[in-house]
Amino acid sequence: MDADIKLEDATSNTPEMGGGLPVVQYWAEHTLSPEGPKLWQTLLHKSACLSCAWGTGGQKGGFANELGETMQRCAKSVEAISAELQPAVSTHFFERHSIAELQQLTSLEADRLGRLSFPVILREGKSHYERISWDEIYEISEAGFRKSPERVASYSSGRSSNEAAYLLQLMMRSLGSNHLADCSDLCHVPSTVGLKQMFGSGTSMVSLDSLKKADCVVLIGSNAPANHPRLMNELIELRDRGGKIIVVNPVVEVGLVKFASPAFPLKSLFTGSEISSLYLQPIPGSDVALFIGIQKALIERNLIQTDYLCAHAEGWEAVVDYAGSISWEAIAQTCGVSQQELEVAAEIIAASKGVVFAWAMGATQQENGVDNIYAIANTALLTGNAGKEGGGTMPIRGHSNVQGFGSMGVTVQLKKESQEALEKLLGRSLNRNPGYRARDLIDAADAGNVDTLICLGGNLYAANPDLNQAKRALGKIDTIIYLATKPNLGHFHGLAQKNTIIIPVFNRFENPHQTTTESGNNFVRLNDVGNTHLKDADLISEVEFLTQLAHRILGSDPVDWRKLQDTKYVRQLIAKTIPGFEQMATIDETKEEFTIAGRIFKEPKFATPSSKANMFVTPLPKLHLPEAKEFGVPESTPSIVLALMTGRSYSQHNTVVYKPGDKYRGMPHRNCILMNPLDAKQAGWQEHQQVTVQGDAGKLENVEIIFGGVRQGAAMMFYPEVNVIFKARIDKQSGIPAFKRVPVVVYA
Ligand SMILES: Nc1nc2c(c(=O)[nH]1)N[C@H]1C(S)=C(S)[C@@H](COP(=O)(O)OP(=O)(O)OC[C@H]3O[C@@H](n4cnc5c(=O)[nH]c(N)nc54)[C@H](O)[C@@H]3O)O[C@H]1N2
Ligand SMILES: Nc1nc2c(c(=O)[nH]1)N[C@H]1C(S)=C(S)[C@@H](COP(=O)(O)OP(=O)(O)OC[C@H]3O[C@@H](n4cnc5c(=O)[nH]c(N)nc54)[C@H](O)[C@@H]3O)O[C@H]1N2
Ligand code: SF4
Ligand SMILES: [Mo]
């Protein structure tokens, strides 16, 4: 930790540990409330948790992980379920409230309107959404998708099922479009791109049972206590068996220092468990430099595994040479972490038997996101920690089925095997033009190149940087079809030029069909059918809508879309066309959930043509912040330029806010900026003072300063609100926007 930051000062507003009694209290409040019985029923339903990709629940029961260990449901799961169990938006709501009024709602207010329970349309020139018949929905949608394939697109978010995802891509590819933008384009796309290059497989190579054998975890850019709470159980157990945890994060997240998990009530609920053994606080966006430093320390101490590298890796000599050629001064200056600390990290890693390198958005949402993945995985390889029991690379995935979407072919980089299998199925070659990723889609729409867009869940508008651009871009699309469970900001701001349709769908635990999902650990879950609490609701399943639409546009040859309304047949197609999913063919009979073949590497034999890992040199990033005057702030105004990290508060799920504040960071509401006390004091400001925070696309005013354990020169704010102030700066290798290093100027 930086010598100049005292954790006590920075975190005087926060609880002394993550998790703890507030979590139990939250459970009790909800499960004992009037919604309690339905909540319990849903928690016990045999389906995967809606919230994160850790993937609790399924056939082994609502509380079990894939190894059958129970007590694995967290409060975030309850939060997600309870939002879905809200009553319906009232029948006359949209007649009574104009778009202008709806646009005044905050994310939380939009979500609190309740569940969508009937389809609506906003027609060109009209001020209100109105109810629409299914016939007209299909007419408009069909006309929309009969446009040129290059001008139709989809966006999706990883809460829907594998079956819906598969059908979406099959419909789009049958139409001749590759424009399958997905939330992963804003999330783990650098992990997918980077890991595929290196290991031939774009997902985690570590299974849960292998993680349980690790004696060291390097946790990079993850706020797991809030976003993947059950991963904390694994970290607690690792510390209990004498293992070490190195945290890499510019912010001291209190739950990564100490965490009290309700899964270990006697042991830890009151005292908490120590999590980090070493806490490194780099400058935002500098992780490549930090890992080059660790590599350099390993090389200088002769701690790299040369025999392993010779046998199992290509390109390692260049990586070693590069780390050797960069000076310690340049490394320490770029990442803001001292040589000494990096040497300690290197020694811990080298002394451990099995090291898992795990990361989330702090590593991926950067202008050099793919280089971050390379640098992390290079470090794993240099120490022989890829392809072994208890070691490896582990991206911590986001949405509960986001990884399944990628596997199902909702990606602009379709696997060769799948492409060939789909071509065989469709009896013709697929479009080879690269499709739009999420950011390309916004830019293409802004340039007037998109006529029709279907959004399978999500909130494309609010998930993007530069909300004014996103709004303008979506406004140039003729027809937008949103399939959603609950209203969100996108439905009120992301409006098409002619027709915006919102179609209410069943969620995972209500679905009339069996569905499957895939966790971040490559484990496929089978979700039982369910029913909805909504009375007289006119909901549709995603599978039914997609197959009906595809049938209208494409007929029944070569694909009999209507037959695919029975999802068993979709699973049979998946088994035939998606490598590693062969077991899908029998899952309906066996009910056996399974680990996808060819992804978990317990031996250093990878999925590349040579079976060796490919290593790539990662250039030291040149991090530069503009001066205040470049933002147009005069020198006479006291100001400070900071690297702003944007992310999630404790009680939100992506663009959907459940509760305003974040008690674990001491931030009482959403219009706060978490700052280092020294930065604020140097600018002459007090805690709780209000400031303006300005980026290159706009500003937010009356932002309250909160002192926190964030390193000097950096700050943190919450999305989606903050997305109005900055433009996208993109990683050229993966197309992801740099949400975690936004240059801003702050002034009073
Ligand atoms: N409850 C809940 N669970 C969720 C979600 C949710 O919104 N709510 N969202 C889901 C989704 S889609 C995702 S992608 C995941 C997100 O899970 P996370 O990635 O854990 O979430 P973020 O809030 O984006 O921030 C991650 C961390 O990155 C750190 N960070 C910022 N910049 C840097 C940097 O330059 N370097 C390093 N090393 N660290 C940095 C931040 O301080 C923060 O602690 O969670 C999933 N689970
Ligand atoms: N500044 C900043 N911006 C970011 C990020 C950041 O860290 N900082 N993170 C990025 C990341 S990692 C992600 S993943 C994106 C998230 O982007 P998205 O995935 O696009 O957004 P969500 O907020 O998760 O979408 C929520 C909506 O999904 C709908 N929904 C929920 N369940 C279902 C279902 O079963 N079916 C259907 N059809 N709809 C459903 C509901 O209507 C709900 O309102 O945001 C990105 N944007
Ligand atoms: S860790 Fe993730 S998958 Fe498991 S219960 Fe919590 S939110 Fe659900
Ligand atoms: Mo995400």
In percent, the amount of the chain with pLDDT more than 70 equals: 98
| Ligand 1 pocket residue status of 653, Cβ below 6 Å | yes
The number of the ligand 2 atom at minimal distance from the alpha carbon of 399 is 14
| Ligand 1 pocket residue status of 207, Cβ below 6 Å | no
224, 359 in Cβ contact below 8 A? no
Separation between Cα atoms, residue 478 and residue 501, nearest integer Å: 11
Kindly indicate the confidence band of residue 247, based on its pLDDT and cuts at 50, 70 and 90.
very high
Q: How far is the CA of 718 from the centre of ligand 4 (A)?
A: 14
What does the block give as tokens for 486? 């609950």
The reported pLDDT for the residue numbered 11 is 58
Separation between Cα atoms, residue 339 and residue 324, nearest integer Å: 14
The number of the ligand 3 atom at minimal distance from the alpha carbon of 49 is 8
Among protein residues, the one with the nearest Cα to ligand 3's atom 4 is 56
Kindly indicate the confidence band of residue 266, based on its pLDDT and cuts at 50, 70 and 90.
confident
Q: How far is the CA of 34 from the centre of ligand 1 (A)?
A: 32
Amino acid residing at 339: Q
Q: Report the CATH fold assignment for 628-747.
A: Barwin-like endoglucanases (2.40.40)
From 372, 349, 247, 357, select the one nearest 301 (Cα to Cα): 349
The reported pLDDT for the residue numbered 4 is 42
The mean pLDDT of 535-549, rounded to a whole number, is: 97
Kindly indicate the confidence band of residue 60, based on its pLDDT and cuts at 50, 70 and 90.
confident
Amino acid residing at 180: L
Whether 374 shows a pLDDT value over 80: the answer reads: yes
The number of the ligand 2 atom at minimal distance from the alpha carbon of 402 is 14
Q: Closest-lying ligand to the alpha carbon of 65? A: 3
Kindly indicate the confidence band of residue 8, based on its pLDDT and cuts at 50, 70 and 90.
low
The mean pLDDT of 703-719, rounded to a whole number, is: 97
SS3 575: helix
The number of the ligand 3 atom at minimal distance from the alpha carbon of 55 is 3
The reported pLDDT for the residue numbered 9 is 54
Among protein residues, the one with the nearest Cα to ligand 2's atom 15 is 463
The reported pLDDT for the residue numbered 3 is 38
Whether 455 shows a pLDDT value over 50: the answer reads: yes
| Ligand 1 pocket residue status of 398, Cβ below 6 Å | yes
Separation between Cα atoms, residue 508 and residue 567, nearest integer Å: 14
The reported pLDDT for the residue numbered 2 is 40
Among protein residues, the one with the nearest Cα to ligand 1's atom 33 is 362
Q: How far is the CA of 711 from the centre of ligand 2 (A)?
A: 28
Whether 72 shows a pLDDT value over 70: the answer reads: yes
The number of the ligand 3 atom at minimal distance from the alpha carbon of 80 is 7
The mean pLDDT of 420-445, rounded to a whole number, is: 96
Among protein residues, the one with the nearest Cα to ligand 1's atom 13 is 398
Q: Name the CA dihedral angle for 400, 404, 410, 413, rounded to a multiple of 10 degrees.
A: 120
| Ligand 3 pocket residue status of 230, Cβ below 6 Å | yes
DSSP 654: T
| Ligand 3 pocket residue status of 51, Cβ below 6 Å | yes
Q: How far is the CA of 398 from the centre of ligand 1 (A)?
A: 9
Among protein residues, the one with the nearest Cα to ligand 3's atom 1 is 230
Separation between Cα atoms, residue 32 and residue 34, nearest integer Å: 7
SS3 content of the chain, % helix, strand, coil (to 5): 40, 20, 45
Average pLDDT, the chain: 95
| Ligand 1 pocket residue status of 721, Cβ below 6 Å | no
The number of the ligand 1 atom at minimal distance from the alpha carbon of 366 is 35
Q: Which residues have C-beta under 5 Å from ligand 4, the single-atom ion? A: 187, 398
| Ligand 1 pocket residue status of 722, Cβ below 6 Å | no
SS3 446: helix
Separation between Cα atoms, residue 556 and residue 688, nearest integer Å: 63
| Ligand 3 pocket residue status of 54, Cβ below 6 Å | yes
Among protein residues, the one with the nearest Cα to ligand 2's atom 38 is 457
Give per-residue pLDDT as tens, 393-410.
Answer: 999 999 999 999 999 999
- CATH 3.40.50.740 residue ranges of the chain are 93-187+408-592
Q: How far is the CA of 101 from the centre of ligand 2 (A)?
A: 23
Q: Which residues pair with 122 in a beta bridge?
A: 500
CATH number for the domain running over 93-187+408-592: 3.40.50.740
| Ligand 3 pocket residue status of 493, Cβ below 6 Å | no
Among protein residues, the one with the nearest Cα to ligand 2's atom 20 is 458
Give how far Cα 500 sits from Cα of 134, 337, 478, Å: 14, 50, 8
Beta-carbon-side half-sphere exposure of residue 251 (alpha carbons within 13 Å): 28
The mean pLDDT of 587-599, rounded to a whole number, is: 96
Q: How far is the CA of 105 from the centre of ligand 2 (A)?
A: 17
Kindly indicate the confidence band of residue 1, based on its pLDDT and cuts at 50, 70 and 90.
very low
The reported pLDDT for the residue numbered 263 is 84
The mean pLDDT of 665-687, rounded to a whole number, is: 96
The reported pLDDT for the residue numbered 618 is 98
The number of the ligand 2 atom at minimal distance from the alpha carbon of 116 is 42
Q: How far is the CA of 682 from the centre of ligand 4 (A)?
A: 35
From 461, 543, 553, select the one nearest 508 (Cα to Cα): 543
Which residues have any ligand 2 atom within 6 Å of their CB?
A: 157, 159-160, 183, 186-187, 361, 365, 398-399, 456-460, 463, 483-486, 488, 505, 507-508, 542, 646-647, 654-656, 719, 722-723, 739
The number of the ligand 1 atom at minimal distance from the alpha carbon of 286 is 35
CA 467 from centre of chain: 19
Separation between Cα atoms, residue 720 and residue 233, nearest integer Å: 29
The number of the ligand 1 atom at minimal distance from the alpha carbon of 648 is 23
Amino acid residing at 692: T
The number of the ligand 1 atom at minimal distance from the alpha carbon of 183 is 12
Whether 570 shows a pLDDT value over 80: the answer reads: yes
Q: How far is the CA of 223 from the centre of ligand 1 (A)?
A: 5
Q: How far is the CA of 387 from the centre of ligand 3 (A)?
A: 26
Q: How far is the CA of 399 from the centre of ligand 4 (A)?
A: 6
Q: Which residues pair with 681 in a beta bridge?
A: none
Which of 259, 405, 648 for a ligand 1 pocket mutation test, highest count of atoms within 8 Å of Cβ? 648
Which of 222, 251, 442, 655 for a ligand 2 pocket mutation test, highest count of atoms within 8 Å of Cβ? 655
pTM attached to this predicted model: 0.97
In percent, the amount of the chain with pLDDT more than 90 equals: 89
Separation between Cα atoms, residue 406 and residue 393, nearest integer Å: 18
The reported pLDDT for the residue numbered 271 is 86
Among protein residues, the one with the nearest Cα to ligand 1's atom 1 is 227
Homologous superfamily assigned to 189-398? Dimethylsulfoxide Reductase, domain 2 (3.40.228.10)
Q: Return the ∠ at Cα 434 (arms to 432 and 439), rounded to 5°.
A: 160
| Ligand 3 pocket residue status of 77, Cβ below 6 Å | yes
Whether 33 shows a pLDDT value over 90: the answer reads: no
Q: How far is the CA of 188 from the centre of ligand 4 (A)?
A: 7
Q: How far is the CA of 716 from the centre of ligand 1 (A)?
A: 12
Q: How far is the CA of 125 from the centre of ligand 4 (A)?
A: 34
Q: How far is the CA of 647 from the centre of ligand 1 (A)?
A: 6
Separation between Cα atoms, residue 735 and residue 729, nearest integer Å: 9
| Ligand 1 pocket residue status of 223, Cβ below 6 Å | yes
